[in-house]
Amino acid sequence: MKITDRFSKGEFVVTAEVGPPKGFHVDELVAEAREYLSDIAAVNVTDNQSSVMRLSSLGFCKALKDAGLNPIFQLTCRDRNRMALESDLLAAALFGIDNVLCLTGDHTKLGDHPGAKPVFDLDSVSLLHTVCELEKGRDLGGNELVGEPPVFAKGAVVSPCSDSVDAQLAKMERKVMAGAEFFQTQAVFDPERFISFMEKAKQFNVPVQVGVIIPKNVGMVRYMSQNVAGIVVPDSVIDELRADKEKTKAGITGVEIAARIIRECRPYCQGVHIMALGWEARVPEILRLAGI
Amino acid sequence: MLVTKLKDKDTVRSLIAGKAFIINCHGCKEVGFPEKEADEFQKELAAEGKVTGVLTMDYICNPDNIALNLGLRKNEIDEADCVLVFSCGVGVQTVSSQLEDKRVYAACDTYAVPGGQGVTPLEFDCRQCGECYLNLTGGICPLTACSKGLVNGQCGGAKDGKCEVDPDMECGWERIQRRLAMVGRLDALRSPVQIRDYNNEVKAE
């Protein structure tokens, strides 16, 4: 089901994310997704996330689809030229996968194949444009597709807490012009920053899902704040994680923080995208605490 | 070896809001420059009253040399709303870096030809892509200043203004954004979707 249909109905749309394994044995991951993520609108499947080679996003999307979940096909421009991207989009349509999240992708140098050729023939903007072209029944070479063209809900990402927020807004506008119908954001730990971003982003009139990562411990959030682009963790969050070590270890603090971020951001956006990073089992609890 | 070819004349005309100061590089021996066509086009522009002055020299990519010459022609440059450079991509980027608050535009596309490269300083790089982007990016090349060579804006990988690949490298698109703001051309960020034509990389003729 196209996730855009949910936004049109005015729902507060909840999605989560799973990363395919480095291997092809998916039964456990699929079972876990079925148990904890069946009630939400859709589940993103990452595409060689952080430039680490894994089972393909498309392959795992198909496995989730077969298990009755609604996958969002994450598609990056790092590993494929325009022809491979187009043919994977057609394969997604064949499998009935109709949500696609278009990303540029991390550079190959950051991952576990640093010697690989970084492709970047297209980027997030031109990939969105490409999806629109396929929907019109033609490919990027201008050639006609055979039969009914595919239809996708076209998503994109934006970093609301980036230190270069003007460049992010400019890029967001370009993505909207190129056909983006919904946005998922980089993880937000500071609702105030997100809210002031949304003041500027609402002019584009597209649904935005606030990105939430469950903070597991002090080391994790410190690392992200210092090293991950677009992530800023306020000291108050670090203090909270440090205050009660047992509670944090049990994951309760992280769940509470995630739920609070969702509650505070909810009036300003159209949904939430939870990146559980292995804590998928905590997603139902977070949503309950957030009042969703 | 590389060759430069004039961009479409109307495209170049559309960049000149009032008057342009023109710089020609008859540069290194390795570059094929369309001298005759450029001269004809510049005469047309002059006849239309769009030219404040013309500077023709060798090696505009030599920073000291071009700085000296730009200084000598300051009045004509001030009088113009933009500087139109007829050279390879390195030359345009060198002029652009010297005139930070001026709109500096490329009048040519630069194509690669197999064989030795032109003589260029190390500071700027021209990929000889055959579809010069400098007019959309404030004179900073997105192919060489961005580690991913992105042509539609910043990715999400910059942290504290630095590239995700190299903490010593400034994000090319943040530089572009700042530069466009300085010359009042932020509208260029709303350009139509750019898709590279790799056919130009091998089509030097």
Q: CA separation (Å) from A212 to A3, A17, A202, A256, A262?
A: 18, 11, 19, 12, 8
Q: How many domains does chain B have?
A: 1
The pLDDT of residue B126: 86
pLDDT of B204 strictly over 80: no
The model's pLDDT over A80-130, given as tens digits with 9 standing for 90+, comes to 999 999 999 999 999 999 999 999 999 999 999 999 999 999 999 999 999
Name which of A82, A159, A173 is nearest B156 (Cβ-Cβ).
Answer: A159
In this complex, the residue of B148, B186, B193 whose CB is nearest that of residue A120 is B148
Q: Helix (H, G, I), strand (E, B), or coil: what is residue A90?
A: helix
Residues of A in contact with B173 (CB under 8 A): 167
Distance CA A222, CA A234 (A): 10
Q: Which residues contact A132 (CB under 8 A, 6 or more apart)?
A: A154, A178, A179
Distance from CA of B16 to the nearest CA of A (A): 24
Q: To the nearest whole angstrom, how far is the Cα of B129 from the nearest Cα of chain A? A: 13
* Percent of chain A residues past pLDDT 90, beyond the cut: 98
Chosen from B147, B168, B178, B193 to mutate, greatest number of chain A CBs within 10 A: B193
Lowest mean pLDDT across A55-69, A192-206, B101-115: B101-115
For the stretch A166-175, pLDDT in tens is 889 999 999 9
Q: Does the structure show a pLDDT above 70 at B106?
A: yes
Interchain contact B194–A (C-beta under 8 A): yes
Across the interface, of B147, B189, B194, the residue whose CB is closest to A170 is: B189
Per the structure block, which two tokens stand in for B158? Answer: 């910059």
Residue in B150, B158, B193 closest to A164 by CB: B158
Asked if the Cβ–Cβ distance from A124 to B160 is below 8 Å, we say no
ipTM over 0.95: no
Nearest CA distance, A174 vs chain B (angstrom): 6
Answer whether residue B119 shows pLDDT above 80. Answer: no
pLDDT band with cut points at 50, 70 and 90 for residue A208: very high
Distances (CA, A) of A33 to A27, A153, A272, B82: 10, 21, 17, 58
Q: Which residue has the higher pLDDT, B119 or A289?
A: A289
Q: Average pLDDT in the A275-281 region?
A: 95
Residue B125 has pLDDT above 90, yes or no: no
Q: CA–CA separation, A116 vs B199, rounded Å?
A: 23
If pLDDT is split at 50, 70 and 90, which confidence band does B114 have?
Answer: low
Could you tell me if B158 lies within 8 Å of chain A, comparing CB atoms? yes
The architecture in CATH of the region A3-158 reads: Alpha-Beta Barrel (3.20)
Instruction: Tell me which residue range forms the domain holding B175.
Output: 2-201
Q: Is residue B203 predicted with pLDDT exceeding 70?
A: no
Average pLDDT, chain B: 90
Contact between A150 and A134 under an 8 Å Cβ cutoff? The reply is: yes
Please report which confidence band the pLDDT of residue B202 belongs to, taking 50, 70 and 90 as the band edges.
Answer: low
**pLDDT value of position A56:** 98
Q: Do B154 and A170 touch (CB under 8 A)?
A: yes
pLDDT confidence of B2, banded at 50, 70, 90? confident
